Chains A and B, each alone.
Chain A
Amino acid sequence: MRNTHYTDVAIIGGGPAGLAAALAARKAGAEHVTILERSHELGGILQQCIHNGFGIHRFKEELTGPEYAYRFIPEVEADPGIHVYLNTMVLSLSSDKEMTAVHPGHGLIKLRAKAVVLAMGCRERTRGALSIPGTRPAGVFTAGTAQRFVNMDGFMPGKQVVILGSGDIGLIMARRFTLEGAKVEAVVEIMPYPAGLARNIAQCLEDFDIPLYLSSTVTAIHGKDRVEGVTVSQVDDNWCPIPGTERYIPCDTLLLSVGLIPENELSQEAEVPLDRCTGGPIVDENRETEISGIFACGNVLHVHDLVDYVSEEAEIAGEAAARYAQNQAAAASENQVQRQASQLAITPGEGVRYVLPQRITPGAEVDLYLRVMQPMDDITLSLGGVALARKRQVRPSEMLKIRLKPQHWDSLREAGAVQGRELCLKAEPR
């Protein structure tokens, strides 16, 4: 077939996950790695995250988003075994790891890979998902779109801003708009606690005296051609607006920072089963999905708050994908069937929203990543009844990482918990 290319490891997405996965795959011995990137440059969303705070775990310093990306990009570009296709949009992926993509110069490209790493990232939740009543004027943006306009394209979307949702991107944009001369009237959050990191509340809102209204939401958008104002109401425990609490805030712009959704259209086309809690694929400790030879990492797998953990996760996926590509006989998928049969399901229990990986091989020393349901103080995290860690203060906005160590497996075996097919992870008060 014309224009069919072959590669050992194909990586869909050249953001932080794709970059780290590519380098890890090469280090693990993959000879030919291909990155397929939709944009005209590598780096993904980091290129528009010009604020600092990236890399404190990995590099022990506070880098800006682009600086973090440039810790990887030159190495990727210099590696003769990594082939980068920019301006390349992957249109389809099959479960036997064949991709169709388009590129302005090469036209339609078919690519067959021994292993695939999904690293497509995520999308922002939009106004349509919220059903905010009111008119449909210009001036309603998602926070990430506004971030791109302000930081890369050089446009200010407005002068007087209300931000709905206290996710980190919204908080970062509250500061950014203020520094660029706009007035941010308020950040409005439906939950009784902020969705973003505590330090962003401090350095993005408190530093600039921007009010944060908790247990509140936007109940109407006003304006015909352009946003003229929003109505903000307090909500009760069931998120229902409380009559009589309405307040009108004049503004020309409403930013939405109301959550991110892993972008799994391609995964679904390849029949990769997804986890309803994370919105991303179900994976084992190698970040292999339930489709043999297809791996996933970064925000396509679950939404991260720290890029440091994305890089870490991508290295696991990249390395495993390289190993898979090397012994990619029929044996590999057969092994996977056997392995899957012996794996335990890790499920979220009391107080836990999700846990990842969702399947683990008994005895594996792995890091579990999880989020709790609500803010809690002094908790014990336990798996199958065995205590793993204690935490002083936990919040849904902060992803927790705990290591499952050999002694935990000993305790689980003693308790007879490994015989079951499922281990439940709980976060309980001490």
Chain B
Amino acid sequence: MAIGTQVNQELERKMTCITCPTGCQLEVTRNADGELSITGAQCRRGEVYARNEILDPRRVLTTTVRIRNGSLPLLPVRTTEAVPKELLADAMRILAKVEVTAPVRTGDVILPNILDTGIDVTASRDMKRAEDAF
């Protein structure tokens, strides 16, 4: 952890780490040189999270797409990695138009490289065809 100087220290933000269920309360300060320092994290992932949250906030998007002839009308999908937070609404609009056909296997790529992020949207579960499901 960077040791922030006591003078010229400005509280940048308080935040809750979302990396794990512990939910550490983090405080991010910026010194006169613009360096970030983070306190309150019980593990190293908290520091990484806080830094990213200031510089490039990202979230994993989980939602559903329509599936034809599946055992259910919807297939749950996820981005394989976190995507920039400001793209979530656009990603939802794109995925609302996607329709796939059963059968699908967990991990199948449903939409590659969403919004040119280099990140794929994949299936979260297996989905059999309706006639094979029961």
**Interface of A toward B, CB cutoff 8 Å:** 40-41, 43, 47, 50-53, 56, 62, 64-67, 69-70, 87, 150-154, 179-181, 197-199, 201-203, 206-207, 305-306, 392-393, 398
A-B residue pair count with CB separations less than 8 angstroms:
89
Closest to B77 in A: A50
Check A41 against B76 for contact (C-beta < 8 Å): no
Closest to A176 in B: B63
Point out the residue from A151, A153, A305 that lies within 8 Å of B76, measured CB to CB.
Answer: A151
Closest to B76 in A: A50
**Interface of B toward A, CB cutoff 8 Å:** 15-23, 25, 42, 59-64, 66, 71-74, 76, 78, 85, 88-89, 92, 106, 124-126, 133-134
In angstroms, Cα B89 to Cα A203, docked, is 15
Q: In the complex, what's the smallest C-beta–C-beta distance from A189 to chain B, in angstroms? A: 16
Q: In the complex, what's the smallest C-beta–C-beta distance from B128 to chain A, in angstroms? A: 9
Check B25 against A198 for contact (C-beta < 8 Å): yes
Point out the residue from B15, B60, B64, B133 that lies within 8 Å of A40, measured CB to CB.
Answer: B133
Check B16 against A151 for contact (C-beta < 8 Å): no
In angstroms, Cα B49 to Cα A422, docked, is 44
In angstroms, Cα B97 to Cα A288, docked, is 50
Check B92 against A180 for contact (C-beta < 8 Å): yes
Check A70 against B18 for contact (C-beta < 8 Å): no
Check B62 against A50 for contact (C-beta < 8 Å): yes
In angstroms, Cα B126 to Cα A96, docked, is 38
In angstroms, Cα B17 to Cα A56, docked, is 14
Q: Jot down 26 A-B pairs with beta carbons below 8 A, ordered by A.
A: A40-B71, A50-B64, A50-B76, A50-B78, A50-B124, A52-B62, A56-B20, A56-B21, A65-B124, A66-B76, A70-B126, A87-B134, A151-B76, A152-B72, A152-B74, A154-B73, A179-B63, A179-B88, A197-B23, A198-B16, A199-B16, A199-B19, A202-B16, A305-B21, A398-B21, A398-B22
Closest to A172 in B: B62
Check A207 against B85 for contact (C-beta < 8 Å): yes
Check B125 against A47 for contact (C-beta < 8 Å): yes
Residue among A153, A179, A393 with the highest chain B CB neighbour number at 10 A: A179
In angstroms, Cα B88 to Cα A151, docked, is 17
B78 neighbours in A (Cβ, 8 Å): 50, 52, 64, 67
Q: In the complex, what's the smallest C-beta–C-beta distance from A11 to chain B, in angstroms? A: 21
Q: In the complex, what's the smallest C-beta–C-beta distance from B120 to chain A, in angstroms? A: 15
In angstroms, Cα B73 to Cα A50, docked, is 14
B89 neighbours in A (Cβ, 8 Å): 179
Q: In the complex, what's the smallest C-beta–C-beta distance from A81 to chain B, in angstroms? A: 22
Check A203 against B59 for contact (C-beta < 8 Å): yes
In angstroms, Cα B76 to Cα A154, docked, is 11
In angstroms, Cα B17 to Cα A65, docked, is 21
Check B18 against A40 for contact (C-beta < 8 Å): no
A65 neighbours in B (Cβ, 8 Å): 124
Closest to A153 in B: B73
Closest to B57 in A: A207
B16 neighbours in A (Cβ, 8 Å): 198-199, 201-202, 206
A52 neighbours in B (Cβ, 8 Å): 60, 62, 78
